[in-house]
Structure 1
Amino acid sequence: MKKIAILGQPNVGKSSLFNRFAKRRIAITSDMAGTTRDVKKELIDFDGKEAEIVDTGGIDESTELFRSVKNKAIEAAEIADIIIYMVNGKSLPDGRDKQLFYKLQSLGKPIALVINKIDNDKEEERAWEFSEFGAQNQFAISVSHNRRVGQLIEWIKSHLDEPELVLELDDEDDALENLISRFDESGTLKEEENLNEIGVAIIGRTNVGKSSLLNALLGSERAVVSDVAGTTIDPVDEKIIVKDKTVTFIDTAGLRRRGKIQGIERYALGRTRQMLEKADIALLVLDASAPLSELDEKIAGLVDEYKLGCIIVLNKWDEALGTYDEIVEELRYRFKFLSWAPVITVSAKSKKRVHKITDMLLKVYENYTRHIPTRELNDVIKNATIKHHIPSFKGKAVNILFASQYEIKPPKIALISNRPKGIHFSYIRYLSNQIRENFDLEGTPLILIPKKRGEREEDNSED
């Protein structure tokens, strides 16, 4: 699949063009220069021809942070198949633009000079001033007015024709065998749901080392890292293969106290929530070199809110404020609702113990997608009710007729009862603990729902 990189100085409209291609708002846009800082990727369908669009941060060398952003943009161009270089049509040609355009031209790849913010025919005259770049493919457009963007898309499509893939006989046999192996004798897919893709959201307050952790997990400098709090604004995602699973890491924007969230960070918070809706597991990153805060607790609450699997990552462990037992004891006290989440200590900066996270992710995902056999589940419930009878409700006996798991990600279990409203939440917690003692559910929430026989499966109680 072809890769298309969009480059240019800050605030020329790269993210707006990215969103226009995607036909939805993916990248955060703002009048503030430097809004995009990490590389953002998305698969785009150009009338049946797919390509991966890469939105890069604005090229600027005014600070160390933006120099790092520039390096990421250049790297994206070097691995791209097609390059789009954007300039601001409301400004005069810039020497830095010209110099970088020549450098990108020397890569020998299809490259287009896109002059943005040409909103009408009168402003078209300014576009001719950019002829000094000597670009073979030059487009004067207005992304905000959707003016002549179609011409640019047609040019892109002309470079997306892929050569037809011809399989050698051995390859063809292997491909056919792989295809057949996915189906049973009746021709039905063996797996109703694809459980080979894991979405992992990296969450935490600003400057706890989320982007450093992402880079360490990937083994490359994928995300921009800076001591400036709030460097990551757009959620950044990257895929790796771990055994037979595709793991997509999402480095979300660092969260601040509500009173300190300003400007585009408000939108970033909303985007973080969108990412959490799609995730399976959260890596809750805490700073071991600083005391736990109320904000840490609120961010941890997002794990509970979205019913995600969870691993608590104590980063900067080489600068920890206390012993492991001391810190974990406080953590367990303050995060009682995550008592089931494993804890791992790492140093993203030195990459110490980071490799342990991937193994733990697979284990947590296995538990997050676990289906408990009905017979074994009911044996546990029966023994639990014998040990501690369900208290009566309004003077009447309460019984659990049977239990059945009806959903995974996370496991959800219906407790079919004659009086479901009579099962107190404290008793549900007791049953949950009994189930956890008998089945490995580390790292995943477990939801128990009292219901009447035949009742629709709507959540009305949870652990």
Structure 2
Amino acid sequence: MANPLIAIVGRPNVGKSTLFNKIAGRKISITENRPGVTRDRLYADASWRGRNFTVVDTGGIELKSEDVMWKEILRQADTAIETAEVILLMLDGREELTASDYDVAEKLRRSKKPVILVINKVDNYSPDKLSEYYALGLGEPFAVSAEHSQGIGDVLDEALTYFGDGEEEDTESLKIAVVGKPNAGKSSLVNRLLGFERSIVTDIAGTTRDAIDTRFTLDGQKYTLIDTAGIRRKKNVSDDVEYYSVMRAFDAVRRADVCLLVVDSAEGLTEQDVKIIGYVHEQGKPSVIVMNKWDVIEKDSKTINKFEEKLHFDLKFMDYFKSVYISAKTGQRADKVLKIAREAFENTNRRITTGTLNDLMLDAVRTNEPPATGGRRLKIYYCSQPSVCPPTFVLFVNDEELMHFSYKRYLENVLRRSFDFSGTPIRIVCRKRSETEGGY
């Protein structure tokens, strides 16, 4: 159900990030003429000839380096290779083939994945320039100049041939990723929601290795539940299999419409829980905090209120969250989870008309005028909402530097008090306009 994935790999400084940015249609990766700039995998959704796909940029591969950083970059690249439908191996056409190039080519052949050989920095193409690359045993090389956008279309045409007919994108199904630490009850919750045992449930942390997708329909609404591996602290990840499982869990967050963040109520919100929730927040995903194992908590009339106060204190950076207190084991309040997830999804798709937004911003500025900085005061000319998922608001101002984070937070609170954005982050972006236009 996810878009086909194209992974760009190769040695450092061959132009991978430049190609990634060209395919993505915007500058996402940092491009700099020194090795090691790209360390983590970066994703971007793109399309070519009407076909949607996702492209991933990876750090430069140094197979024989013992440096800790290069080993970590290699692990990230391995994950991209493992999950990709097509791999683009990129080489520098201005350099001679090296032993490392042959090693990388051999590594990719062992992956059994389709590999397209991309020779970059070939500004003046001639067949003779590419003849030596057939020795890598990866088929016909494609000459490109990523910097000048030459030859990229031919590479993408070739990549499309490996996607097959594909599965029609499931736009009706609400994709819900169930994430959290090991043994918090994620699989038990999935099984409870489905009404049958889809995932293996044990008390052993790490039972679920892969992100498991299950479709079902309830009350006429289509859902896809994505059960994921427990996400442990990085230093506690014991082997490569578990490492890949954790990476797949993060990938599940990226492609989900809503995330259920399952927390063990008996243990309480931990530092690792906060990190996982923070990742979901950074990805701009609507979320529901599911406090599981509520059946084992000794309760009185104030227990939930105390838990809620603690959650809001620990999650001050995203106090928009929705929460529900359940027992996946007994079924207590489990029937509310999907309803709340649906509400969060509706809120992240909420659009406000430009006229209503500007009336609201005008009242907000009149009620609390922006503070002056260095003798200059922020002026807001007008506001619009160009996108949803998450709701994004653009403020056209006289100088973006004059927007203090506290005033941006004030405006966010104004938006949240006026409209129901519970369960979803919102983004406020400032763009500079001429001071001659006047402001609120």
TM-score strictly above 0.5: yes
Aligned counterpart in structure 2 of residue 258 of structure 1, from 226, 234, 241: 234
Question: Residue 202 of structure 1 aligns to a residue in which SS?
Answer: strand
SS in 2 for 1:292: coil
Residue of 274, 277, 300 corresponding to 2:277: 300
Change in 2 beyond 3 A, CA 1:321/1:294: farther
Q: How does 1:270-419 map to 2 (within 5 A)?
A: 270-320=247-297, 323-419=303-399
Question: What's the Cα RMSD here?
Answer: 2.3
Amino acid at match of 1:367: N
How many residue pairs get aligned? The number is 270
Q: Deviations over 1:210-240 (max 9, x none)?
A: 0000011111111110111110110111112
Unpaired segments ≥5 residues, structure 2 = 8-108, 113-168, 435-440
The alignment partner of 1:314 has SS state of: strand
Structure 2 residue aligned with 1:198: 174
**Identity score, percent:** 36
Q: Using a 3 Å threshold, how does the CA distance of structure 1 residues 24 and 349 change in structure 2: closer, same or farther?
A: farther
Q: Separation in 1 of the partners of 2:220 and 2:382?
A: 36
| In 2: Cα distance, 1:23 partner to 1:194 partner | 16
- Please tell me whether Structure 1 or Structure 2 has the larger radius of gyration of its CA atoms: 1
Residue 224 (str. 1) matches residue 200 (str. 2): yes
TM-score by length of 1: 0.55
8 Å CA contact retained: 1:242, 1:358: no
Aligned counterpart, 1:43: none
1:417 corresponds to which letter in structure 2? V
- Contact 2:231–2:249 (Cα < 8 Å) also in 1: no
Match runs of 1:139-158 below 5 Å = none
For the pair 1:238 / 2:218, whether they are aligned, the reply is no
Aligned mates of 1:421, 1:432 — CA distance in 2: 18
1:98-142 CA distance string (max 9 Å, x none) = xxxxxxxxxxxxxxxxxxxxxxxxxxxxxxxxxxxxxxxxxxxxx
2:177 maps to amino acid: A
CA contact (8 A) 1:289 1:321 kept: no
Q: Which residue identity lines up with residue 373 of structure 1 in the other structure?
A: T
One-letter identity of the residue aligned with 2:172? N
Look up the equivalent residue of 1:276 and give its one-letter code. Answer: V
Matches within 5 A, 1:450-461: 450-453=430-433
2:80 equivalent in structure 1: none
Distance 1:239 1:418, change over 3 A: same
1: CA distance, partners of 2:400 / 2:353 = 22
> CA deviation digits over 1:337-384, x for unaligned, max 9?
221111101110111111111111211111011111111111111111
Alignment of 1:12-51 (within 5 A): none
Q: Which moved more, 1:230-239 or 1:318-327?
A: 318-327
In the other structure, the counterpart of 2:244 is 267
Asked if the contact 1:414–1:448 (Cα under 8 Å) also holds between the matched residues in 2, the reply is yes
**Would the aligned equivalents of 1:196 and 1:244 in 2 still touch at CA under 8 Å?**
no
TM-score, L = length of structure 2: 0.58
**Partners of 1:293 and 1:452 in 2: CA distance:** 41
